[in-house]
Amino acid sequence: MAEKSPAADVEAGLLAHLNSAGEVPDSRSFASSLGVSHLELEGVIKSLSAFRIVESTDIVKETWVLTEEAKGYAAKGSPEAQLVAAIPSEGASKDALKAKLGDAFDVGMKAAARNKWIGFEKGNKDLVLRKVESVKDELQEQLRRLENGEVVPDKVIDDLKRRKLITKEKSIWYSLKKGAEFVLKRKTLATDVTTEHLRSGDWKDLEFKDYNYGAQGQPIAKGYVQPLMEVREAIENIFIMMGFTEMPTNNFVESSFWNFDALFQPQQHPARDSHDTFFLKAPASTRQLPEDYLEKVKQVHQSGGYGSKGYGYDWKRDEAEKNLLRTHTTAVSTRMLYKLAQEKPFAPKRYYSIDRVFRNEAVDRTHLAEFHQIEGLICDYGLTLGDLIGVLEDFFSSLGMSKLRFKPAYNPYTEPSMEIFSYHDGLKKWVEVGNSGMFRPEMLLPMGLPEGVNVIAWGLSLERPTMILYGIDNIRDLFGPKVDFNLIKSNPLCRLGL
């Protein structure tokens, strides 16, 4: 037979007392009468109250209690009284007094000097002299009165608080009476039906504990989506909803031809400098370029065509063949548009891509040498700037950005070009969120696209909306070991709405 627990004895004593007396006016006194701590009795009271067997009323009292420092002063005297008592009639040096009083020396010196109980020998500030024969230690008296539970004036309380000798302590105890479901001995309610219950048949007589529908279950151990991947998936869904097809973006290494030349970007453009682009040492160049198309690109750069004067410089094949880490996913768009131009008859297309790009930039809170670019484009007959603005408004409104502004800009391969700004309600200002434009004829017609076919396109980074959505102010916190897993776990499901 199992031994009865101490809590069971306390519960039995409490219920027996309530059954005979009807109430317990002070749980502290009752705990003393049972010979147990109030904390033990409190646990039993809370358990019985939950089942409405007893009804409890909180009794709250706030009292001032002495700190450990103050308890020492109540026993030995205040620092100033200890100091005066330690000074002989001929006086004492500060070093001797400090060695004797320890930590109480500095406090005692200030208080004794303020009370004019001590002085110093003329011309010798190190010798401390008594100026009184005896002192009345009021501080010790005040602390002892508080320790004994006596009432002291508010002015004394304020002075003791200032000296950090007392703290306020809240005490809670209870008055008790019979509850609505009072019983002299409560039954143990069953929580499960066991095999033994079924065999014996006693399940028919069991009383079961009420099911708590509000109880929290154990947290489910599961994986969490990395912030960039979560936002990426949401943006991909927007593109798919708008009828776009994903472009293959598996070529991190690209030739300068597809990354720059095919985009009508001149070979002397600053972006092609090694300070902005990562060029490969091995393999340093490529030979796999479409010759007919390459010749047309060379011609339009050197002397123009298709209504353009070109750039009028000596275009070099060696420069176009240099391998690099792609600086934008527009290199992928160029390849896809060239492939589309070879398909006959022409069919309008909507393409998108989201993948990594690389730029030789200094790493700081808002810049990395590797980041993600989101790009969308539409290729069709008769597209205009108005179509671009309309598509941008649809796309960005799906991201939660309905307040847009457009600012004229320059890109080598788009004309007209526009920077995209959205009003950020949190920052209370307009924030640049992307770039856009219409691809130039000098880029499209050498590919073989029909006359009258236009391409509208736009791009933005993946990191910026992710940082805004997750409240991250340092882009480096999105990658590698600096990712905060607690942030990922505690963050609500990603809602696109900047």
Q: For domain 228-250+327-490, which CATH number applies: 3.30.930.10, 3.20.20.80, 3.40.50.300, 3.40.50.970?
A: 3.30.930.10
Closest alpha carbon to 165 in 136, 143, 138? 143
Residue 275 pLDDT: 60
Residue 474 pLDDT: 78
C-alpha to C-alpha distance for 433 and 453, rounded to whole angstroms: 27
Rounded to the nearest integer, the mean pLDDT of the chain is: 85
pLDDT tier for residue 2 given thresholds of 50, 70 and 90: very low
Q: What is the mean pLDDT of residues 132-139?
A: 85
Contacts of 210 (CB under 8 A, 6+ apart): none
Q: Are 244 and 376 in contact (CB under 8 A)?
A: yes
Closest alpha carbon to 143 in 110, 109, 168, 166? 166
Q: What is the mean pLDDT of residues 157-181?
A: 88
Q: What global pTM score does this model have?
A: 0.56
Classify the C-alpha dihedral 283-284-287-288 as positive or negative.
Answer: positive
pLDDT in tens, 278-310: 888 889 888 888 989 999 999 999 988 888 888
| Chain centroid, CA 360 distance in Å | 30
What percentage of the chain carries pLDDT values higher than 70?
96
Classify the C-alpha dihedral 321-322-325-331 as positive or negative.
Answer: negative
Helix 94-101 crosses helix 79-86 at what angle (to 10 degrees)? Answer: 130
Q: Residue 202 to residues 107, 190, 191, 192, 483: CA-CA distances in angstroms? A: 74, 11, 14, 13, 56
pLDDT in tens, 402-460: 888 999 998 888 989 999 888 877 667 887 888 999 999 999 999 989 888 999 999 88
Q: Are 438 and 383 in contact (CB under 8 A)?
A: yes
C-alpha to C-alpha distance for 377 and 397, rounded to whole angstroms: 17
Q: Are 183 and 193 in contact (CB under 8 A)?
A: no
Residue 325 half-sphere exposure toward CB, CA atoms < 13 A: 14
DSSP annotation string for 271-312: GGSTTTS-B-STT-B-----HHHHHHHHHHHHT-BTTB----
Residue 274 pLDDT: 58
Confidence check: pLDDT of 271 > 80: no
Closest alpha carbon to 458 in 373, 384, 399, 386? 373
- The domain limits of the chain are 6-66+169-196, 79-136, 228-250+327-490
Determine the 3-state secondary structure of 166 from DSSP.
Answer: strand
Closest alpha carbon to 404 in 414, 393, 390? 393
Give me the CATH code for the 6-66+169-196 domain, please: 3.30.1370.240
pLDDT in tens, 104-132: 888 888 888 888 888 887 778 888 888 88
C-alpha to C-alpha distance for 471 and 488, rounded to whole angstroms: 11
pLDDT in tens, 453-495: 999 999 888 887 777 777 777 777 777 777 777 777 766 655 5
